[in-house]
Amino acid sequence: MRALIVDDARTIRMILGKMLRELGFECEEAGDGQEAWETLQKGSEFDIALVDWNMPVMDGFALVQTVRADASYNDMKIMMVTTESEMANVVKAIEAGANEYVMKPFTKDVILEKLKILGID
Amino acid sequence: MTPADFEFLQGLIRDRSAIVLETGKEYLLEARLEPLCRQKEIEDIPTLVRQLKTQARSPLEEAVVEAMTTNETSFFRDQHPFRVLKDNVLPEMMKRRDSLKSIRIWCAAASSGQESYSIGMTVKKDLPALEGWNVKILGTDISKNILERAQSGIYSQLEVNRGLPIPYLMKFFKQDGKTWVINDEVRRLTEFKFMNLIGTWPPLMKQDIIFIRNVLIYFDMETKKKIFERIREVLAPDGYLFLGGSESTFGIDDNFQRVEFDAGACYQLKEDS
């Protein structure tokens, strides 16, 4: 399994990376939406992208819209992992094509159970 | 904590809840009782033990039992039992109860309500053909405090993060600041009541589906046998029993048989039992 972790906070990338590697994932990291999109366009394939909302250059919501506009990434699941917790934003992200949503703070169990929901475990 | 204090608490918890705390579980007692001491402004566990010895059957004793019996729970815990419920058990029950249009479900260790509400959400979202049926989900627990929480249907952000697929959050919860409240459509299906599994059981209607997950692991063999015996009286002859992932009727009660489905297993009464 391969995961792309997209967050401008290095600490969050480290925490998520450690959790996912312990679960047997290979991980790549990107510091914003633009960097993530470039990684995807280089042809790297991922089973899941874990995406923060508020990031410089290209935010997570714009990344979801960009990825979902390109059918070649239809198989990749997207899980928002963000401090944005307003119901309106949750709905917005899911309507844009995110498959799951985690509100920070989170624990390892939260991530693990969300992966189970998505059938990636 | 001295060995004598541990032994006293071990005995008290065993008598009131049948939970067996083996030697070596001192850390568990400390983890659960130290917060209680702080809350009750009791200096430490030895002081708590001294107070308990002079106050048999007191609210303090009840609080100790509650602190030890409040178990971890989450929405759609382990996921697979709810897939079995949605894909196999409820569709089968709908065929069998078609003339009655009634299904009774009992969560025997309801804790803060996530299991009952997960079942309720499954009924409402995934089985629209049950619209108009009389579906009742009874949740019982030994802890009155936790039942109050269950009844309130109010959950923290961390709790709704755990195990709850986002479409269910969007459909069945209303946000209230940093908390999330289950809606009336699901709440109407549920009812919560106090019940001690090792005490006297209140009169219960026959139940079509029983969830008693991750609670029997705390009991000794004799207690497990007694509980399965009582479950046999309450479970409808064609009903289904769901146990926790590490629990089984095997070697405890031969009157049940394991039924395997794609996503997981549950139990039914043998025909001749």
How long, in residues, is chain B? 273
Indicate the residue of A90, A105, A110 with minimum beta-carbon distance to B166: A90
- Is B190 in CB contact (< 8 Å) with chain A? no
Task: Please list every residue in chain B whose beta carbon sits closer than 8 Å to the beta carbon of residue A85.
Answer: 157, 175, 178
Cα nearest neighbour of B78 on chain A: A113
Q: Is A53 at the interface with chain B, CB within 8 A?
A: no
Q: Do B169 and A90 touch (CB under 8 A)?
A: yes
Look up the domain containing A48 and give its range.
Answer: 2-117
CB contact under 8 A, A117 and B158: no
Report the share of chain B in percent with pLDDT over 90: 75
Tell me whether A78 touches chain B (CB under 8 Å). Answer: no
Search chain A and give the residue with CA nearest B180.
A87
Q: What is the pLDDT of residue B218?
A: 83
Token pair of A118 as six digits: 């998505």
**How many Cα neighbours within 13 Å face the side chain of B243?**
21
pLDDT tens across B88-108, in order? 999 999 999 999 999 999 999
Tell me whether B157 touches chain A (CB under 8 Å).
yes
Beta-carbon contacts of residue B94 (< 8 Å; ≥ 6 apart): B103, B127, B129, B130, B133
Tens digit of pLDDT for each residue in B5-62? 999 999 998 888 878 888 888 888 888 899 899 889 999 999 999 999 998 888 899 8
ipTM: 0.88
A48 contacts A118 by C-beta, under 8 angstroms: yes
Q: With an 8 Å Cβ cutoff, is B79 touching chain A? A: yes
Residues 6 or more apart whose CB falls under 8 angstroms from that of B216 comprise B224, B227, B243, B244, B247
Interface test with A, best of B161, B170, B173 (most A CBs within 10 A): B161
State pLDDT tens for residues B148-174. 999 999 999 889 999 999 999 999 999
**Which residue from B minimizes the CA distance to A103?**
B161
Are A94 and B170 inside 8 Å of each other by CB? yes
- Confidence band (pLDDT; 50, 70, 90) for B70? low
* Distance of alpha carbon A112 from alpha carbon B161, whole angstroms: 11
Mean pLDDT of B143-147: 88
Taking the C-alpha atoms of residue B22 and residue B220, their distance in angstroms, rounded to an integer, is 11
Q: Average pLDDT, stretch A21-39?
A: 96
- Is A107 within 8 Å of B157 when comparing Cβ atoms? no
The domain total for chain A is 1
Q: Look up the CATH number of the domain holding residue A110.
A: 3.40.50.2300
> Could A91 and B170 be called an inter-chain contact, meaning their C-beta atoms sit closer than 8 Å?
yes
Mean pLDDT, rounded, for B231-259:
96
pTM, two decimals, is: 0.87
Report yes or no: B35 at the A interface, CB cutoff 8 Å. Answer: no
Tell me, yes or no, if A107 comes closer than 8 A to chain B by beta carbon: yes
- To probe the interface with B, which of A85, A92, A95, A100 has the most B CB atoms within 10 Å? A85
